[in-house]
Structure 1
Amino acid sequence: MADHTVEVTIVTPDGSVYDRDDATMVIVKTGGGEMGILASHQPFVATLEIDAVRIQTGDKEDQVAVCGGFIEFSGNLATIVADSAETSKEIDIERAQNAKSRAEEHIKHAHEVHDADELSRAEVALKRAVNRLNISGK
């Protein structure tokens, strides 16, 4: 690995989802906001939001949908441990659209019956589905 690149590894409880050793920049959404990481960045650990992890290599950008987890960066190695993660190629668009529709129905129902717990769960499910659809390009 060259001194001006970052190695990126994304893992979930089910195993490795993404591995690349020539990224020029990694962009993540942490609990504190969006963060761009270049080679030789100060070491840190941060929680991740439901959002895209964007990995840039020259003119190309890969995107991985992550749902929670954390990132650790040290020694030009970005390790992302996510609750779940999918590359754009792995996303089942029909399944994500169905999940979005179900979440919207649950949100409507939660408002009707004034159920804060159901509303909270449905809002998270909607964020996950929308994130997956955004990554897939649909």
Structure 2
Amino acid sequence: MAENLDEMTVQVITPDGIVYNHHGLFVLARTTGGEMGILPHMISTIAALAIDELKIRRPEDKKGKVDYVAVNGGIIEVSHNVVTIIADSAERERDIDVSRAERAKIRAERDIEKAKAEHKVDEVSRAEVSLHRALNRINVAKHL
């Protein structure tokens, strides 16, 4: 738990392990119901996350530096000054392989066109999710 009363602990956890574990002053996350801003001492909350970037303002740099994490859905829980994000996958901006994300974007765009031409609605939906994830990773990597 964060030691300073103006801070909270922020953790992002995936099946591969902990992706992010630091103190934060503010967290901005996109849930399936809209954006959620989190400050220290927020009431206990749980929500489903959308595919989007997670923004965390760190206490050691109060001048506006923000850490970004590409989160591909999952859940967010706020409890006792700890923000826990559990996601199938997540990557910090510094860990994103942009060329791999670009290839995934091209592949997803191709899959969408093919599935639309063959009138395969389920495959279109899956490819659109893949495209959204690739674009999210590319956008988060641009913050570096």
Interval containing the TM-score (normalised by the shorter chain) = over 0.9
Identical pairs, percent: 47
Alignment of 1:91-106 (within 5 A): 91-106=96-111
Kindly report structure 1 stretches of 4+ aligned residues shifted beyond 3 Å. Answer: none
Residue ranges of structure 1 left out of the alignment (5+ in a row) = none
Q: Distance in 1 between matches of 2:32 and 2:44?
A: 17
Matched, 1:123 2:128: yes
**TM-score scaled by structure 1?**
0.97
For these two proteins, the number of residue pairs brought into alignment is 137
Alignment of 1:1-138 (within 5 A): 1-21=3-23, 23-57=24-58, 58=62, 59-137=64-142
What secondary structure sits across from 1:48 in the alignment? Answer: strand
The alpha carbon displacement at 1:63 in A equals 0.2
> RMSD of aligned C-alpha atoms?
1.0
* Residue type of the alignment partner of 2:116: H
* Residue type of the alignment partner of 1:120: S
Q: Distance in 2 between matches of 1:53 and 1:135?
A: 9
1:68-126 Cα shifts (integer Å, max 9, x gaps): 11011011100110110000111001100000000000111111111001100000000
**TM-score scaled by structure 2?**
0.93
Residue ranges of structure 2 left out of the alignment (5+ in a row) = none
